[in-house]
Amino acid sequence: MQKVAAKRKVYIDKTLFERICQGDQDAFRELYELSYSPLYAFLLSYTLNAEDAQDLLQDTFVQILNNCHLYREQGNPMAWMMTIAKNLFLMKCRKERMEGINYEDVEYQLGFDDITNVENRMVLEKMFELLTLEDRNIIILHDVSGLKHREIAEMTGMPLGTVITRYNRGIRKLQKQFAERRPT
Amino acid sequence: MNKNDLRNKMQSGFLEAAPDVYEAVLKAAEKNRQLSQDTEFQEIDEKNRLLSRDTESRKTKGLMGGSMEEGTCKEQCDSRKGNVIWGNFSKYALSACAGFALFFICLFGMLGKNEDSIYVVMDINPSIQIVLDESCQVRKLQGLNEDGKNVVEKLEWKEKDSLFYTIDVLLEDVVKESYLHEGGGILVTVFAEDKALYQDLEKNLGIEIDGKLEDMGVSHVTTAFQYADGNPAGAGRTLLETQLAENFSADEQEVQQMTVMELIEYCQECIPGKLELSPSSREQQQNPSEQSKDGENSQRKELVPLNNNSEDAKNSAVRATSDVEDDTAKDEMDIGNDTCKADDKQQKSDEKKEAGQDNASQAELHNQDDDNDEQQDQKPLPTVQPAVQTQPESPSQAQPEPMQQEGISSESEALTKDTEDKKENKNKSNKKKNKNNKDKGNKKKDKNNKDKTNNKDNDNKDKNNKDNDKKVNNNKDNDNKVNNNKQNGKEVNNNRDNDNKVGNSRNSTNRNASSPQSR
């Protein structure tokens, strides 16, 4: 599968969902290509485990495929898909609590070893090392998924000002980290 | 590293790290469809079984009339409807319950205790109501009159802003729009169930309002607070107005037409202790009495020193008259604001006038007596005394002795009238004379001043001339001396020449005398 080049903003056409409901596989393929990377990043931020994130990613797309008729043209489609992903993660957490498994004790394996570009890997590692969950999620939603601050605020339930300050704070932390590490 | 660089690296990094699960998704989706289809078939089979059982039971009982087919169809339809209804009963029941629950929640929410339990009404001239929640965050802003509505429309505020921030913004807007200015008043009414909360708000709001007005440079603003419990009904000042009208028989219309400042003052007079003032307002009320005393003393200082020169007296008189004119102009401008202050000013102006007249009369006396500048300068001025000459004679002295006869009495009355008329005429003439003398005196003074200055100039010129003459004379003397010296020098030379000639002549005679003897 050809990997789509990284775009500055992820734009998903809302008519894709209608076509998917009608059984258009190409539309589903197009949707998948545009959104699997941001969804994976978002899920990895929650799970901190590459395998679990992969499972949840699969479940998310299955849900989207089955429930595409439920999509209402309100706001960004990516935000709708992100909420499905988050809900699936929360359901999984509840199941595991019921089963007596403490999700936080699981060692996290981010799976960045397979990344060939060293700088990209360093950036991702520092993101998970330095930033809190909320700051990281906001940066992923804004920079990787292409959501606006206002959309992020609506999705997360945080005030807009909080979203903006946390985003700036996270970016500054990363910039500071890489500014200190400049080669002499 | 820029934001764009970070963004690009993140995107490319996650793109590289994310696994490809497309095929797995498709497989999972197919499985789900199969499962869903299987479940549907199972449901249909169960339904059919149920239907078949029903029909068999009815056949055996023979209750159905008409054709069996119709009956069966009807039964099937009815059973289907029933199944549909009973099958969806749970959904309908849940939705009905949810609806009822919402209804009751709304009811209790309306009837129950309001979260918006605190109301703050600010009467400046626009009246604005601020609705707060329990944590003193602003929920709502409402204008209670036209000006208030205009202010609220233009105001930049948000829900959950703090009360103090909202009031700062409100005060800025109100001062810009010139609703509030120096000497104005602010009445803050707090509607709250808890009086302790009111007291806390009153302290903090008072400090906040005073500080903000000081920062904006608006002084002499009186801020008053009042407490009210119950639901706020209209503006805060209406409470005061109704109270004053009912309990203190104040005219409603007059009270309604009062400004906020006037209402506060009137309320303080009628109901002391009803209103609480902010710290700076309290200081203003205490200090004006001290300020007025200081003002009077300073004015007295200006008018007292008369011992130095007539010029100073004249200047002080001129100042007094100019001050009086200024005060009257100010009084005309300030009508309607501070009546007490206007009264004080009038009293002060009257005092100034009297003092000015006294100074002018004294100046006249001095100018009448003295002609020369030096004499005027040298003569010491007397202390403040009334002008005896200008005062009219006491009536007791002027009254003639009472006559015994009526005709004489009438004549005496006529005489007294005549004398009084004459006195009045005299007084008038004296006054005129005084005026003329004043003018003359002033003119003379001007002349004197001019002459003095001229004389001084002349003196200076003379001095300069003298100095020049002296210099010239000195130069002349020097020249004469030089000439004398020259002459002396010549004479000396002449004398020497003469001596030499004499010497030569003697020598020549001696030679002549010696030469004949040798033959």
Residue in B14, B29, B32 nearest the CB of A41: B14
The arithmetic mean of pLDDT across residues A92-104, rounded, is: 72
Measured between alpha carbons, how far is residue B450 from residues A115, A178, B396, B445, B458 in Å? 105, 88, 47, 8, 12
Write the residue in B1, B16, B20 that is nearest to A120 by C-beta.
B16
Apex B404 CA angle, B401 and B405, nearest 5: 125
Our CA-based measurement puts residue A94 at a distance from the nearest CA of chain B, in whole angstroms, of: 22
Q: Are the Cβ atoms of B18 and A178 closer than 8 angstroms? A: no
Model pLDDT, residue A38: 93
Helix axes B406-517, B339-369, angle to 10 degrees: 60
Q: B493 is written with which tokens?
A: 């030379």
pLDDT in tens, A130-157: 899 999 999 999 999 989 898 899 888 8
CB contact under 8 A, B28 and A58: yes
Interface test with B, best of A10, A58, A136 (most B CBs within 10 A): A58
Report whether pLDDT(B430) > 90. no
Q: Are B213 and B176 in contact (CB under 8 A)?
A: no
Give the tens place of pLDDT for each residue, B54-85. Answer: 777 766 665 555 445 455 555 555 555 555 55
Grade residue A21 by pLDDT with cuts at 50, 70 and 90: confident
What pLDDT does residue A135 have? 92
The mean pLDDT value for A156-172 works out to 89
Q: Is the pLDDT of residue B386 over 50?
A: no
Q: What share of chain B is helix, strand, coil (3-state, %, to 5)?
A: 70, 5, 20
Out of B7, B16, B24, whose CB is closest to A58? B24
Cβ-nearest to A178 among B1, B17, B21: B1
Q: Which two tokens stand for residue B404?
A: 């015994």
Q: What is the DSSP string of B43-107?
A: HHHHHHHHHHHHHHHHHHHT---S-HHHHHHHHHHHHHHHHHHHHTHHHHHHHHHHHHHHHHHHH
Q: Within chain A, what is the greatest distance between any pair of CA atoms?
A: 58
Q: Which residue has the higher pLDDT, B217 or B382?
A: B217
Q: B15 touching A, CB under 8 A?
A: yes
Residue of A nearest to B31 (CA): A62
Q: What mean pLDDT, rounded, does chain B reach?
A: 68
Instruction: Inspect the interface and report whether the beta carbons of A41 and B12 lie closer than 8 Å.
Output: no
ipTM given for this complex: 0.89
* Mean pLDDT value across residues B457-462: 59
Q: Which residue has the higher pLDDT, B509 or B135?
A: B135
Q: Which residues contact B182 (CB under 8 A, 6 or more apart)?
A: B218, B219, B220, B221
Radius of gyration of chain B (CA): 57
Residue A41 banded pLDDT, cuts 50, 70, 90? very high
pTM: 0.37
For chain A, helix, strand, coil in percent to 5 are: 70, 0, 30
What integer pLDDT is reported at residue B475 of this predicted model?
A: 57
Asked if pLDDT for residue B228 goes beyond 90, the answer is no
Each residue of B26-45: pLDDT tens digit? 888 888 777 777 776 777 77
Q: Average of pLDDT values for B253-280?
A: 86
**In Å, how far from its chain's centre is CA B137?**
30
% of chain A residues with pLDDT over 70: 86
CB contact under 8 A, B11 and A144: yes
Residue B9 and residue A144: Cβ atoms within 8 Å? Answer: no
- The answer to whether A121 contacts B13, with C-beta atoms less than 8 Å apart, is yes
Q: Which of A149-158, B91-100, B176-185, B438-447 has the lowest mean pLDDT?
A: B438-447
Residue A163, pLDDT > 80, answer yes
Higher model confidence: residue B234 or residue B261? B261
